[in-house]
């Protein structure tokens, strides 16, 4: 892999990891009992999904991507909006929050967040062949960078989030909804320009 290819792939990887990074900050701030194992689990899932999605896109080819592009943004929006809406609702359930702190590293929530934050990477997989000749190294870099940023996000959220108590849950829910809207609007705008 040449220097230019490496810089391009790292740029793509960092760009793809930003949604996972933001969600990790929110998750770290919401779950007051966050431990290293929770952060590692979240980072692993986000990194793995972010690595596998471009690989699927790369292998599936252009025809599958065109079919998927018709509804992938709706899936991402629905997942993020429903999880964000639930967070906002639960922020007002103060007693329930104190007695039962949420664990964003639970399997169902974690898989939904992983899919929602990595679904754009599916389309990126098709373009990876234009950026690099080494798909394996590109996928590894995407996974490792997402893992590192997601873990850092959990730690940042854990340290900063507790200053805001339940307000961070409302903000976190709004951030997840905003990420979903960003994905949805950018796809709809791209489609209207074609």
User: What is the per-residue pLDDT across 33-78, written as a single tens digit (0 to 9) for each?
Assistant: 778 888 999 999 999 999 999 888 787 765 555 666 667 778 777 8
Least confident of 52-61, 109-118, 141-150, 155-164: 155-164
pLDDT at 65: 54
Question: Which of 115, 131, 123, 116 has the alpha carbon at shortest distance from 63?
Answer: 123
Q: How many CB atoms lie within 10 A of CB 71?
A: 11
pLDDT at 131: 66
Among all chains, which residue has been given the structure tokens 């967040």? 113
φ/ψ (deg, to 5) at 124: -60, -30
For the ranges 72-81, 127-136, 144-153, the one whose mean pLDDT is highest: 144-153
Are 187 and 56 in contact by the 8 Å Cβ rule? The answer is: no
- For residues 97 and 182, the model is more confident at 182
Tokens of residue 20, six digits: 């996972």
Domain count, the chain: 1
Q: What is the pLDDT of residues 70-115, one digit of tens each?
A: 677 787 778 778 877 876 776 676 544 444 445 676 788 889 889 8
Residue 154's domain comprises 3-192
- For residues 140 and 68, the model is more confident at 140
The secondary structure of 66-122 as a DSSP string is: HHHHTTHHHHHHHHHHHHHHHHHHHHT-HHHHHHS---TTSHHHHHHHHHHHHTHHH
Q: What is the largest CA-CA distance in the chain?
A: 56
Are 113 and 26 in contact by the 8 Å Cβ rule? The answer is: no
Burial class (CB in 10 A: 0-12, 13-18, 19+), 66: exposed
- For residues 150 and 116, the model is more confident at 150
């Amino acid at each position: 892999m040449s220097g230019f290819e490496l810089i391009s792939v790292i740029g793509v990887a960092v760009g793809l990891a930003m949604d996972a990074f933001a969600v990790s900050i929110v998750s770290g701030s919401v779950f007051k009992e966050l431990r290293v194992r929770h952060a590692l689990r979240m980072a692993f899932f986000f990194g793995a999904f972010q690595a596998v999605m471009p690989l699927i896109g790369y292998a599936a080819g252009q025809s599958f991507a065109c079919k998927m592009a018709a509804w992938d943004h709706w899936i991402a929006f629905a997942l993020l909006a429903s999880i964000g809406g639930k967070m906002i609702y639960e922020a007002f359930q103060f007693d329930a929050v104190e007695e039962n702190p949420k664990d964003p590293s639970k399997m169902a929530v974690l898989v939904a967040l992983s899919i929602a934050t990595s679904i754009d990477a599916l389309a990126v997989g098709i373009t990876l062949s234009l950026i690099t000749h080494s798909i394996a190294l590109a996928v590894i870099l995407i996974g490792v960078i997402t893992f590192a940023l997601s873990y850092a996000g959990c730690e940042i959220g854990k340290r900063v989030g507790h200053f805001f108590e339940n307000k961070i849950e409302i903000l976190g829910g709004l951030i997840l909804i905003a990420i979903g809207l960003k994905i949805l609007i950018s796809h709809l705008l791209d489609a209207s320009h074609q």
